[in-house]
Chain A
Amino acid sequence: MNERRGMLIGLLSTAALGVVFAGGAQAQETVKIGLLATLEGPFAAGGQDGMRGAELAVKERGGMVAGKKIEIIKASSDAKPDVAVNATRKLVEQDKVQIMVGPLSGSEGIAVKDYSKSQPGITFINGSSGAQATTLVNPSPNFFRFNTEGAQWMVGLGDYVLNDKKYKKMALIAEDYAFPYSQVQGFMAGYCKAGGKVTHKAWVPLGGKDYSSVIAKLPTDVDALLVVLGGADAVNFLTQYEQNGGDKPMVGGSITVDQTVLNFKGKRRESLLGTPAAGPMADSIDTPAWKKFVADYKANFKDGFPSPSLFAFVYYINMKAALDGLEAVKGDLSGGQEKYREALKNLKLQTPVGEITLDENRQAIGPTFITEVAKGADGTFYNKVVKTNASVNQRLNLPKEEFDKMGLGSRDVPSCP
């Protein structure tokens, strides 16, 4: 037994030494990029797919930019801000990455943005986090977000469900953190303005799992439910709503009926058909660029989803921006990465959905899509595009005064009971 234990210790120390040497042997010609996504917790499926998206962007360039090798160092969090910051610190301070890509979810993004201020020598690029406040309140000079955020994604959906679907009165159920606040604001800003009513708001804890009592409390005199839950939470809610005999139609947030949810392993998905939602992408965009992206994703990841999820897409464009920026400065990260950041700011990023540019807060302005869940010929579920917004800015295309008057999305803002 002692011998076995000795062997184990030996193995462990060898492994530890290996890590130390790998860290020490840093060649001049590599650029280290940290990649953070959630591989645990409610967004584990999304995090896994986000990693795929980022890897795809690196693969497209053959792992090289301007003659320099790209080395990706991965880390995981569980959608909690403190865990995300710790993982980022580890990447920046121990692994000495020069560029950070991540994190995945809303509150994590705000926390990492705050941390980025203490590391002015590193450039931080968002993963897929979509909280409004990240770039709108106290933006950090070295934090860039090449994806549109949660509120932008929902622009136009309110009008659509009110005018086309005739849902005049709705109740909402959403997770209680920054990203759903943004999503709800993006939806309600348009919905309330057009005369819709939201009579009941249920904010539930992230990763709550058991929604039966929340469901029991939902009012019965509404036309539809706005469900802004993601990943496992969404699947749990949908199952339980059905088990409780619920029969209201649903309107989804950007990650409620995403590929990670549409393709869960089970057979009870039919009730999702026809659910309207909105987001920065859709599974069925009819352009060559999008089709190429989907084909590349499928070719590279046999174990992936039938079509890239929102997380894969958003991580892809942020990683692509990081690499395109590097290309523009020929891999030159000297001088506190000053030139690199200038290049990022002026980047006209060509993405599978169209061109994305940054505003003065380094926040993306880009297209968003309104979709409905449909069933393909092969039985897989996908989001069909029903409307396209060519360009949405962070003020939801509202005049500055009107947006400022409304303020940031929160539990109580906006309100139209």
Chain B
Amino acid sequence: MSFARRWFWAWLFGLPVLALTIWGIADNQRLFLVTALNGLTLAALYFLVASGFTLVFGLLRNVNLAHGSLYLLGAYVGWVAGEYLGSWFLAVAAGFLFAALMGLLLQIGVFRFMHGQDLRQTMATIALSIIAADVALWVWGGEIYQFDPPRWIIGATALPIVGKFPTYRLVLLAMAIVIGLALWWFLARTRVGMMIRAGVDDRAMLSASGIDVQMVFAITFAIGAGLAGFAGVVGGTALSIAPGEDTRYLLASLVVVIVGGMGSVAGAALGAVLVGVAEQFGLAYAPTYGIVFSFVIMALVLAFRPQGILGRRA
């Protein structure tokens, strides 16, 4: 893409967005900022779910369509743990550990046997997600579950201009940033992270240099799944958990990683921000058509940059 053409596109999309932003601030400063903040905090949640999804895809080339089920099961198990242990923090830990364990079992028990067979993996993960959804409905029923986090976390915080804003959403944003940085550090600075990155680039070579590839796969899958379970508890606290959340977050993760670029953690962050912000502005300024915006973004990305904004050509 030439320099001039790149700027042409930047102008084409940038100018209207800029104009709308100026109008939005001039029209109602508070609403605009609240919406932006809501968008960022929703993006934080999307990032938590999608980062695990994209991590698994990047290394294993495996579109895990049971990722949403890991989110939901992690949330339910976290809820049960929270109810019995009486601590929300233990609930978060339980959600992460349970989903990570499930991920490990999935990798060792299922995906190891169908490496590189895309269609078979897809069918298997769809099947697993349907089974998981029915098992969850059987065990936990159709009721709506809500977590009971510590008092200080669920109140409202006064911010300049914005006024009262839910403390929890700010906590959520901070958590996503911390996790994003931790993931970056893990991938860029640790030995296992190096192996994962090497595996993303060239699996055969990594294996040839004497690394136990299956172990790297298992670790990656466990972390990716654990992040989904973690997001389940954290997201379930911000909103609620109920049957159907699995497909909702699977769809959200898919849109996020398609926009951001499959396999890129930074891409997942960028995609999450775009989708989250678009969704919230849609809800605030055009409630009826809000849901369309994230799909418009996806369609545009697919049309002009099919590998995703930060993705590499396969």
Contact = CB atoms under 8 A, between A and B. Distances in A.
A16 B17 CA distance: 54
Contact of A212 (B144, B167, B169): B169
A44 B42 contact: no
Nearest to A4: B113
Contacts of B154: 243, 268
A171 to B, nearest CB: 13
Interface string B167-207: 11100000000000000000000000000000000000000
A261 B165 CA distance: 25
Interface residues of A, number: 46
B286 to A, nearest CB: 11
A48 B140 CA distance: 12
B47 to A, nearest CB: 15
A210 B243 contact: no
Contact of A45 (B31, B35, B142): B142
B248 A209 contact: yes
B248 A268 contact: no
A47 B242 CA distance: 13
Nearest to B291: A205
Contact of B35 (A42, A216, A232, A239): A216
A44 B134 CA distance: 12
A210 B280 contact: yes
A108 to B, nearest CB: 15
Contacts of B42: 210, 212
B133 interface: yes
Interface string B276-313: 00011101100110110000000000000000000000
B38 interface: yes
A355 interface: no
Given A40-B244, A45-B242, A239-B240, A210 B283 contact: yes
Interface stretch (B60-68, B93-101, B145-153, B217-225): B145-153
A213 B288 contact: no
A207 interface: yes
Contacts of B167: 243
Contact of A209 (B39, B146, B239): B239
A235 B146 contact: yes
B242 A42 contact: yes
A100 B248 CA distance: 29
A199 interface: no
- What's the interface size class on B, roughly? 35 or more
A264 B144 contact: yes
Contact of B287 (A47, A214, A236, A260): A214
Given A44-B137, A243-B156, A243-B168, A214 B142 contact: no
Contacts of B288: 176, 203, 205, 411
B115 interface: no
A232 B287 contact: no
B281 A213 contact: yes
A47 B142 CA distance: 8
B141 interface: yes
A208 B252 CA distance: 12
A45 to B, nearest CB: 4
B146 A208 contact: no
A16 to B, nearest CB: 15
B166 interface: yes
B35 A213 contact: yes
B287 A203 contact: yes
Contact of A39 (B137, B248, B287, B290): B137
A138 interface: no
Interface string B208-232: 0000000000000000000000000
Nearest to A204: B287
A44 B142 contact: yes
A244 B167 CA distance: 9
Contact of A210 (B79, B141, B279): B279
A240 B146 contact: no
A267 interface: yes
Max chain B C-beta neighbours (<10 A), residue from A243, A261, A303: A243
A48 B279 CA distance: 30
A267 B137 contact: no
Interface string B59-93: 00000000000000000000100000000000000
Max chain B C-beta neighbours (<10 A), residue from A214, A264, A266: A266
B55 to A, nearest CB: 24
A213 B293 CA distance: 15
Contacts of A245: 156, 163-164
Given A245-B156, A245-B164, A263 B243 contact: no
Interface in A240-283: 240, 243-245, 260-261, 263-268
A231 to B, nearest CB: 7
A265 B166 contact: no
B108 interface: no
Nearest to A267: B148
Given A232-B242, A265-B143, 16 more contacts: A41-B243, A44-B243, A45-B141, A45-B144, A45-B242, A47-B142, A48-B141, A78-B244, A203-B288, A208-B283, A210-B283, A212-B280, A216-B34, A216-B284, A239-B239, A264-B240
> Sorted from nearest, which 6 A-B pairs have the closest CB atoms?
A266-B146, A245-B164, A243-B166, A213-B284, A44-B142, A45-B142
5 contacts: A41-B243, A45-B144, A235-B240, A263-B143, A268-B148
